[in-house]
Amino acid sequence: MTINIDGDGVTFEDGKTEKTFSVFDGFGTFRLKTTKKIGDNVLKFTLKETGGKKKITVDSEAIQVVDKINFNLVINPETTLELNHEYSYTLSLDSKVNEQTSFNSRSYLIVDSNYVKSNESYINIKNNS
């Protein structure tokens, strides 16, 4: 499978815009990183038979880099202060994002550990939630 990126908002982790790899069991994995340039990008997937001569299928997927994503942090009102200051909280996307784009991603939570700690280093966001 070959993946080409059309646009300058994302690259693969190594900074390149094209990646070719073998697909086993029907899937392959890759990561994208932002270049911090806002705008639309298109990932073009080309699957070829072994040897790379004949195309089996070609598909594309649009991906958008947005400027700012706002989250709402809500502390559960039923949580009581404990000796170790642990609270239950909910993290959700700001509703303005929902109007702008269909957001599907993994968001990494990086905050000062003196103030907020999480059991997970990231949250998965599917269909804006």
How many CB atoms within 10 Å of residue 13? 10
Comparing C-alpha atoms, which of 41, 42, 33, 38 is closest to residue 13? 33
Which residue type is seen at 14? D
Structure tokens at 123: 């949250």
Q: Residue 12 has what pLDDT?
A: 94
Give the tens place of pLDDT for each residue, 4-37: 999 999 999 999 999 998 877 777 788 888 898 9
Q: Residue 118 has what pLDDT?
A: 72
What's the rounded Cα separation, in Å, for the pair 74 and 1? 43
Give the tens place of pLDDT for each residue, 84-93: 666 677 777 6
More confident residue, 74 or 84: 74
